[in-house]
Every structure is written in C-alpha cells, then in structure tokens.
C-alpha cells in the first residue's frame, strides 16, 4: 500500500497542474467579464500563474537541499488550497495576480518534487515509463477539468469554481503524502557530494523544451477562441474542441507509456512532434468546425507524452541525474509556459486574428522538430564515442 501511495504522489502532481493550467482558455472569457477587461488582457493576467510556475522551478533548484521532499509536498499542497480560497475571498485584480502567482509557484515545486522522486526510485526505461505516466495524468486531467469547466460555465457558476475542485484534490494528496513513508534515496549531504554534470545535449534539450511549451500552452489558450472567432462556435463547442485535444493527449500518453518501454525516447519524440505539426496544420486549414474538432485529436495526441518524454530525453544525456537536472528541464518548460500568454496575446493584439497565434505555434513546432532531429544525431555520436573509448 505504501508503494501505491508513493506512485500516487509521483503522478498526481501533474493532475493538479493540469487542473490549474488547462482550463485557462475557457475561463479567460468569464474572467474578462468579471473584471470588465478585454479578452487579451484577461489571458495576459494568467501570465501571473505561468510566471509563478517559472519562479517555482527556480525555487526547486535549492529547496530540496534544505527541506525534505515529504515536507515540501505536504506544506505545498496546503498552501495551494489556501490560495484558491483567496481567489474567492478577495475578488480584486491585485488578489487575482497574487494568488495565481502563488498557486503557480507551489504547483511547479510539486511537479519538480514528483519528477525528482521518480528519478531517485527508477532507472532507464522504467523511469521513462513513470515520467510518461505523469503526462498521462496531466492529459487525463485535461479531459476531466475541461468537461467540468464547461459545465460550471454553462451553469453560470463563479469562474474559479473548477479551481475549487482542484484545491479539494490537493488537500487529499497532502493527507496521502503525510501518511506515506517516502524514502529519500539521497539525503542533502550525500547529494551535495554528487557533481552535477552538464553538457551541450541537456542544455540544448532545455532550450527545445522552452520553445515547445510556449507553443503548447498558446494552443491550449487560443484554440477555443479560434473556434469562436472563425466558426462562431458556442461555449459548448469550443469546450468540446479543448476536450478533444485532451482526449487525444490522454490516448497518446497511454500509448506512449507502452511505446517508450520498447523504443528509444528520441524516436518517440520525433514521431510525436511530427504528428503535432501535421494536426495543427490541418486545424488551421480546416473549412468546417467538424474538421477542426477532428484535427484536435491529432494535436492532442502529439502532446500527450511529449513534455515528460523531453525530460527523459534530457536526463539520458547525463549518467547521474540530480534534482538540479530535473529542475533545469522543468525551469526551461516553465519559462516557455510563462511567456506563452504574453507572447500569444501580443501576436493576436498586433494582427487582430487568433489564427495568427496558432500559425506562430506551427512555426515553433517545426523548428522544435528540427532541433530534436539534431539532438538525436548528437546523442548517437555520444554513444558511438563512448563505445570507442570503452
């Protein structure tokens, strides 16, 4: 039973992050109405959450040197729940920014804690499998929370109602973590003796993750708005579009959990990125809403297991991963997530068209695919060089 609870702590962090991040595209409109601001300003406000995520990954570089992982998990989830309560208790623009920042900060620390625990407990393909399973939980959360958010909004509930549900889940996880024996494989003193080695491979993977997450989060934010602007879709239809993306993502992550146990992680990433670029191209070229809804499955399938696939790919460049390697990769993704609302809003503001942001995402995905191809070649050279040396 303790092992089951450890696995739950490892994978549910992604579920919680999904609950806060993925409904942004749906609740931006109600937030704009609630605070009497434009939709682009409302989307940009959620940059406080994504910048909180970015700050959390910076904190993750050092927090585990001074605090035990279990303490961070229990206290962090309690603070997340308290911050969600603050969104209800203090309905002001300043409180919105402050509490979104705090939620993002502690949510990202939990993700780093979960991935660090995975890197301690598993090696090789089992590690890849567990990391992809985290993505499956993120995408499963996308299905659940998108559907629930659509229901809450159509029933005229408060815009933050989906977040209240996530807060309840964080309280449950906190209790689970509190009653779980988490054996830290390396205490702070031992880990300080392990040299954190860096090389061009893992550094370049971080840059690639940054670009990928900028594109990924921008798609989540603007895909519903694209359906409404181009096809006059209703809230239910735009919600269905986002749900289809996450159904595809969840299916892709489940398949990916099996595939990465059989093939090299770089081959998996190349296939997923190619699928994503194709799906986004078909979505932008669609002439009917039904075709957009179908293309959404491909877009989702491509991102289903890509982020943690990137994490596994980056860690494969170093022989002894430490929490600093994990934090670096998550920090790179956090930067991409943080700039996505601002970046995409600026494109929409300057062009006046939502599809312009999605075209920028397509260009980014094509470039990211190219970088992964180069990194795969670099990895092959490293393996060949190591074989010759041995």
- Select from 267, 258, 247 the least CA-distant residue to 316: 267
Residue 51 CA to its chain's centroid (Å): 13
CB 321 within 8 A of CB 197: no
Read off the pLDDT band of 1 (50, 70, 90). low
Q: Which residues of 7-31 are buried (b: 16+ CB within 10 A; e: fewer)?
A: bbbbbbbbbbbbbbbbbbbbbbbbb
Give the C-alpha separation, 286 to 295, whole Å. 8
Classify residue 304 as exposed, middle or buried by CB count within 10 Å of its CB (0-12, 13-18, 19+): buried
Per-domain residue ranges of the chain:
2-179+194-389
The structure tokens listed for 359 are 């075209």
- Select from 25, 326, 102, 92 the least CA-distant residue to 202: 326
Question: What residues have CB less than 8 Å from 300, skipping those under 6 apart?
Answer: 139, 244, 245, 246, 247, 248, 249, 250, 251, 252, 279
Q: What is the mean pLDDT of residues 116-140?
A: 72
pLDDT, tens digit, 9 for 90 and up, residues 241-293: 888 887 887 787 777 767 776 778 788 888 888 888 899 999 998 888 899 99
CB 242 within 8 A of CB 147: no
How far CA 127 is from CA of 12, 119, 308, in Å, comes to 16, 7, 10
Has residue 144 got a pLDDT over 70? yes
- Name the DSSP class of 1: -
* Lowest pLDDT segment from 84-88, 293-297, 330-334: 330-334
Question: What residues have CB less than 8 Å from 101, skipping those under 6 apart?
Answer: 48, 49, 51, 52, 55
3-class state of residue 210 by DSSP:
helix
Note the CATH architecture for domain 2-179+194-389: Up-down Bundle (1.20)
- Percent of the chain whose pLDDT exceeds 70: 89
Torsion of CA 286, 292, 294, 297, to 10 degrees: 120
Give the C-alpha separation, 258 to 349, whole Å. 42
Question: What residues have CB less than 8 Å from 215, skipping those under 6 apart?
Answer: 336, 340, 360, 361, 364, 365, 368
Q: What is the mean pLDDT of residues 187-208?
A: 70
pLDDT of residue 188: 46
pLDDT of residue 68: 83
Read off the pLDDT band of 170 (50, 70, 90). very high
Has residue 189 got a pLDDT over 50? no
Give the C-alpha separation, 23 to 169, whole Å. 16
Rounded to the nearest integer, the mean pLDDT of the chain is 82
């Amino acid at each position: 039973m303790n092992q089951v609870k450890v696995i739950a702590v490892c994978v549910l962090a992604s579920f919680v992050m999904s609950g806060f991040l993925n409904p942004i595209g749906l609740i931006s409109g109600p937030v704009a109405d609630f605070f009497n601001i434009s939709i682009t300003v409302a989307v940009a406000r959620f940059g406080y959450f994504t910048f909180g995520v970015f700050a959390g990954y910076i904190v993750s570089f050092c927090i585990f040197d001074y605090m035990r992982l279990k303490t961070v998990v229990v206290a962090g989830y309690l603070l997340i729940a308290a911050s969600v309560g603050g969104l209800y208790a203090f309905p002001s623009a300043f409180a919105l920014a402050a509490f979104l920042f705090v939620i993002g900060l502690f949510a990202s620390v939990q993700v780093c804690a979960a991935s660090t625990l995975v890197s301690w407990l598993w090696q090789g393909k089992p590690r890849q499998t567990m990391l992809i399973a985290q993505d499956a939980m993120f995408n499963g959360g996308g299905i659940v929370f998108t559907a629930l958010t659509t229901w809450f909004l159509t029933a005229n509930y408060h815009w933050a109602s989906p977040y209240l549900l996530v807060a309840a889940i964080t309280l449950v996880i906190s209790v689970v973590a509190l009653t779980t024996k988490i054996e830290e494989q390396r205490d702070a003193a031992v880990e300080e003796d392990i040299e954190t080695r860096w090389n061009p491979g893992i550094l370049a993977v971080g840059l690639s993750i940054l670009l990928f997450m900028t594109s990924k989060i921008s798609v989540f934010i603007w895909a519903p708005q694209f359906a409404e602007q181009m096809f006059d879709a209703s809230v239910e239809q735009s919600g269905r579009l986002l749900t289809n993306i996450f159904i595809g993502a969840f299916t892709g992550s489940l398949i990916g959990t099996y595939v990465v146990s059989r093939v090299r992680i770089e081959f998996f990433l190349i296939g997923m990125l190619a699928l994503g670029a194709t799906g986004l191209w078909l979505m932008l070229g669609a002439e009917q809403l039904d075709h957009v809804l179908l293309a959404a499955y491909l877009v989702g399938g491509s991102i289903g297991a890509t982020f943690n696939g990137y994490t596994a790919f980056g860690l494969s460049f170093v022989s002894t991963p430490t929490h600093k390697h994990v934090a670096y990769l998550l920090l790179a993704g956090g930067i991409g997530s943080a700039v996505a609302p601002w970046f995409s809003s600026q494109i929409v503001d300057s062009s006046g068209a939502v599809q312009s942001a999605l075209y920028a995402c397509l260009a980014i995905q094509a470039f990211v695919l190219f970088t992964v191809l180069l990194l795969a070649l670099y990895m092959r050279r490293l393996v060949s060089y190591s074989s010759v040396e041995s």
